[in-house]
């Protein structure tokens, strides 16, 4: 199962080597992180990033090894944005000449870059950005300017203190005409002493949610006062500005300016499975350690993992971690395919890639954020201790529901794609993830054939149920929209229903990709069977949770919904014997997991007890401040008898 989770034996071995390298290096200690003040915390992050880079250089790590190393260091840092957004943006939107100039500098870390798109006044609405880039043909330069307070760049990670350069998104103005938002490479700080260059005001935006957590990142604010950059620092793969001041659009679609977001959203789906699996690993191991009630004749109490309520909350999350792992793998393939096509000027699959990355980013991050919090509750009181690892994991993870596109805004993008597909059904055969809509007549007509709980153990029955629900919800939205004279008004009015239809479509993708994974050759005794059980758990859990949808569209009867739930209970009993092995398969070191409750050896209570005494409050028996603030109250002589 470790191989199935990692994707291949090579990846397992490589990631294992990197995990151990980090775990055994004292520089990467992270348990004191939530206790540190901001300055100390940030300095410590800089130290870790520098040490990580030294290892990459000294050990001549490959790009793949370096990625795993950064993952296991497990601390948000400016390097995430440098490697994860700045470099990919130049790769995707730069011309060959620009790539040749900037990529070696960035890859050798001679410059440090961030991705400065969002502003104080606008994040979701990229077309609403206010920063301007005005072409000055006399000087052959762009003038980058922040005309209003709300045009201040606000949020970019790595901007606050670390970056020397930024990829700035600004409205292009050529000859007095606006040409929409484009990307510009702007140097922010001196390469000599790191001080801000003339015309640049830059700093950190302040503390964020949680202790430690995302506060290791210097999310920044940036203002420009007529800052000049050479013309060739506008990324010009999509459109160009000539020396003479002529704006030219190549045959590459404009949407490619948003390409970096498509790339990052895809990586976020893969990361969702990592974050959820960490939380699930902690909650599952601890649920096997923890005992409450049920002692018979003085014997041990019941392990809480044996309670059906615990199983019905925990096992769907375990199954979701696997489901997200496999849909992430598929999405990576889809992205690579689109990338190759784009390089060959084939843009036909870009809309589907956008819809899939946007929708799956939204679906998986929402489920993961909720899932981490559920895991905290599954660990009872001890889950609330920082030493459980869950509070910091939650605090670091939840902004994933917002960054790279607010999750609702992204589902509305999926809705646009679905509505368009439905409206074109008469004359255009849908392909890819919407191919099922080509069978809409059958899906509207056929009803579920399940008669017994056993009948639900059938991939065909499950896929058809999810297809019918998604198709019927999409068609219902299409019919409602048709009643509006103005389509945009209709879209705004029906937005909540459209978002629900998008969720149904995205859940169908995840379920289908899990089923497709099981059609592949999966070596290892019992591995495929265990994955089949998890796949059914994932699908039937969703069916149970959203049974309102399945019933409302008239595909299921209440009896069939009850049979699905009966089957789910049976499946939980099948997961139980392998639950610990299924989380051990994630192959996480205790360092990466960062949790006393999730320790591999299960030695929870002694270690919790030990850790309590390491808290600075326990440095002395009498706390600092006691004599000043508490003792006077204890000693005071009160005059009123009532008090």
Ligand X SMILES: Cc1cc2nc3c(=O)[nH]c(=O)nc-3n(C[C@H](O)[C@H](O)[C@H](O)COP(=O)(O)OP(=O)(O)OC[C@H]3O[C@@H](n4cnc5c(N)ncnc54)[C@H](O)[C@@H]3O)c2cc1C
Ligand Y SMILES: CCCCCCC/C=C/C(=O)SCCNC(=O)CCNC(=O)[C@H](O)C(C)(C)COP(=O)(O)OP(=O)(O)OC[C@H]1O[C@@H](n2cnc3c(N)ncnc32)[C@H](O)[C@@H]1OP(=O)(O)O
Site residues (CB under 6 A) for ligand X? Answer: 81, 115-118, 122-124, 155-157, 214, 219, 399, 402-403, 405-406, 408-409, 412
Minimum gap (Å) between residue 389 Cβ and ligand X: 20
CB 535 within 8 Å of CB 497? no
Task: Decide whether 31 or 247 has the Cβ nearer to ligand Y.
Answer: 247
Q: Backbone phi, then psi, for 184, in 5-degree steps?
A: -135, 135
Please report how close the Cβ of residue 335 comes to ligand X at its closest, in angstroms: 19
Among ligand X, ligand Y, none, residue 219 binds (CB under 5-8 Å by kind) = ligand X
Let me know: does 361 contact 410? Beta carbons within 8 Å: yes
**Min CB(35)–ligand X separation in Å:** 22
- Tell me whether residue 389 or residue 405 sits nearer to ligand X (CB atom): 405
Residues from 404 through 423 that contact ligand Y (CB under 6 A): 404-405, 409, 413, 416
User: Interacting stretch for ligand Y, rule CB under 6 A, among 44-52, 186-194, 222-230, 349-357?
Assistant: 349-357
What would the two tokens of residue 190 be? 């001196």
Least gap, CB of 4 to ligand Y (angstroms): 25
By DSSP bridging, strand 141-145 and strand 227-230 are antiparallel
Bridge partners of 184? Answer: 168, 234
What is the chain's length?
643
Residue 533 main-chain phi, psi, to 5 deg: -60, -45
Whether residue 240 contacts residue 174, with contact meaning beta carbons closer than 8 Å, is answered with no
Catalytically active residues, by annotation? 404
Binding map of ligand Y across residues 250-289, x = CB under 6 A, - = no contact: -----x--x--xx-x--x----------------------
In this structure, what are the phi and psi dihedrals at residue 617, rounded to the nearest 5 degrees? -65, -25
The alpha carbon dihedral of 264, 400, 596, 294 has a sign of: negative
Binding track, positions 107-136, relative to ligand Y; x by CB under 6 A: --------x-xx----xxxxx---------
Name which position in 7, 17, 36, 80 contacts ligand Y (CB under 6 A): 80
User: What is the closest distance, in whole angstroms, from the C-beta atom of residue 129 to ligand Y in the complex?
Assistant: 9
Distance, CA of 536 to CA of 276 (rounded, Å):
19
**Residue 425 contact partner, candidates ligand Y, ligand X, none, CB within 5 to 8 A by sort of partner:** none
Residue 135 interacting partner from ligand X, ligand Y, none (CB closer than 5 to 8 Å by kind): none
Nearest distance in Å: CB 259, ligand Y: 6
Q: What residue is closest to ligand X based on CB?
A: 123
Q: Which of 350, 422, 450, 597 binds ligand Y (CB under 6 A)?
A: 350
- Residue in the structure block whose two tokens are 């130290």: 47
H or E segment at 519?
none
Shortest spacing between CB 410 and ligand X, in angstroms: 9
Strand order in the sheet with 200-204: 153-154, 220-224, 200-204
> How many residues make contact with ligand Y (CB under 6 A)?
27
Would you give the distance in Å from CA 597 to the centre of its chain? 24
Q: Pick the closer one to ligand Y by CB: 358 or 508.
A: 358
Q: Which of 121, 203, 245, 351 binds ligand Y (CB under 6 A)?
A: 351
- Map the footprint of ligand Y across residues 136-165, applying CB under 6 A: 157
In the set 182, 189, 354, 591, which binds ligand Y (CB under 6 A)? Answer: 354
Please say which residue, 431 or 492, places its beta carbon nearer to ligand X.
492
Question: Rounded to 5 degrees, what are φ and ψ at 35?
Answer: -90, -10
For every residue of 410-443, which 3-state class applies, written as one string? HHHHHHHHHHHHHHCCCCCCCCHHHHHHHHHHHH
Contact yes or no for 460/443 (Cβ under 8 A)? no
Name the residue nearer to ligand X (CB basis): 126 or 174. Answer: 126
The neighbour count for residue 332, using CB atoms within 10 Å, is 15
The number of helix segments (H) and strand segments (E) in the chain equals: 23, 11
459 is a contact residue toward ligand Y (CB under 6 A): no
DSSP-derived pairing of the beta strands 113-116 and 247-249: unpaired
Alpha helices in 290-389 (DSSP H): 308-343, 350-378
**Residue 592 near which of ligand Y, ligand X, none (CB within 5-8 Å, type-dependent):** none
Q: Please state the closest distance from residue 234 (CB atom) to ligand X, in A.
A: 18
Which of these, 27, 124, 120, lies nearest to 75 by C-alpha position? Answer: 27
Q: Cα separation of 512 and 470, whole Å? A: 13
Work out what residue 408 binds among ligand Y, ligand X, none; the CB cut-off runs from 5 to 8 Å by kind: ligand X
Footprint of ligand Y (CB under 6 A)? 80, 84-85, 115, 117-118, 123-127, 157, 255, 258, 261-262, 264, 267, 350-351, 354, 403-405, 409, 413, 416
């Amino acid at each position: 199962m470790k191989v199935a989770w990692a994707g291949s034996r090579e990846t397992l071995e490589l990631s294992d080597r990197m995990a151990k390298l980090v775990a055994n290096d004292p520089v990467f200690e992270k348990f004191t992180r939530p206790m540190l003040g901001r300055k100390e915390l940030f300095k410590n992050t800089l130290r870790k990033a520098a040490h990580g880079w030294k290892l990459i250089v000294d050990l001549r790590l490959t790009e793949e090894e370096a990625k795993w190393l950064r993952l296991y260091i497990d601390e948000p840092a400016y390097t995430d944005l440098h490697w994860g957004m700045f470099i990919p943006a130049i790769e995707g939107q730069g011309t060959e000449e620009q790539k040749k100039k900037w990529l070696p500098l960035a890859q050798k870390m001679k410059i440090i870059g961030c991705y400065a798109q969002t502003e104080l006044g606008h994040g979701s609405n990229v077309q609403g950005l206010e920063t301007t880039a005005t072409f000055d043909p006399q000087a052959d330069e762009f003038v980058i300017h922040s005309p209003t307070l709300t045009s201040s760049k606000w949020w970019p990670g790595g901007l606050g203190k670390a970056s020397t350069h930024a990829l700035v998104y600004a409205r292009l103005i050529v000859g007095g005409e606006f040409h929409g938002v484009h990307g510009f490479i702007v140097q922010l700080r001196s390469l000599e002493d790191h001080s801000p260059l003339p015309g640049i005001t830059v700093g950190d935006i302040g503390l964020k949610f949680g202790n430690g957590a995302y506060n290791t990142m210097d999310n920044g604010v940036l203002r420009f006062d007529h800052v000049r950059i050479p013309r060739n620092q506008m990324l010009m793969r999509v459109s160009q500005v000539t020396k003479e001041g002529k704006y030219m659009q190549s045959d590459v679609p404009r949407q490619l300016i948003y390409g970096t977001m498509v790339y990052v959203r895809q990586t976020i789906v893969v990361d969702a499975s990592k974050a959820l699996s960490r939380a699930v690993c902690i909650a599952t191991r601890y649920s096997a350690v923890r005992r409450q009630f049920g002692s018979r004749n003085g014997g041990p109490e019941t392990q809480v993992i044996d309670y059906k309520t615990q199983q019905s909350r925990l096992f769907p999350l375990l199954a979701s971690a696997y489901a997200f792992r496999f849909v992430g793998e598929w999405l990576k393939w889809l992205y690579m395919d689109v990338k190759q096509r784009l390089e060959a000027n084939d843009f036909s699959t870009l809309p589907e890639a956008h819809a899939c990355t946007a929708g799956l980013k939204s679906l998986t991050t929402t489920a993961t954020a909720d899932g981490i919090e559920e895991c905290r509750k599954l660990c009872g009181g001890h889950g609330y201790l920082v030493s459980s690892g869950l509070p910091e994991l939650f605090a670091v993870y939840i902004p994933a529901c917002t960054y790279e596109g607010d999750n609702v805004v992204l589902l509305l993008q999926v809705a646009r794609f679905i509505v368009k597909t439905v409206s074109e059904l008469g004359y255009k055969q849908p392909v890819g993830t919407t191919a099922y809509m080509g069978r809409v007549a059958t899906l509207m007509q056929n009803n579920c054939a399940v008669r017994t709980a056993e009948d639900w153990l059938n991939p065909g029955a499950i896929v058809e149920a999810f297809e019918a629900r998604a198709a019927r919800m999409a068609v219902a939205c299409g019919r409602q929209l048709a009643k509006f004279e103005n389509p945009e008004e209709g879209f705004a009015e029906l937005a909540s229903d459209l978002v629900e239809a998008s969720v149904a479509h995205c859940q169908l993708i995840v379920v289908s990709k899990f089923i497709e994974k099981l059609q592949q050759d999966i070596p290892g005794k019992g591995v495929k069977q265990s994955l089949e059980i998890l796949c059914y758990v994932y699908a039937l859990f969703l069916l149970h949770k959203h049974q309102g949808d399945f019933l409302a569209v008239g595909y299921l009867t209440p009896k069939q919904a009850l049979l699905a739930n009966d089957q789910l209970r049976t499946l939980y009993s099948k997961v139980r014997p392998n639950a610990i092995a299924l989380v051990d398969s994630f192959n996480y070191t205790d360092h990466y997991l960062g949790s006393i409750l999730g320790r591999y050896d299960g030695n929870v209570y002694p270690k919790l007890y030990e850790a309590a005494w390491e808290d600075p409050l326990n440095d002395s028996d009498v706390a600092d401040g006691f004599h000043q603030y508490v003792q006077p109250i204890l000693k005071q002589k009160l005059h009123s008898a009532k008090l």
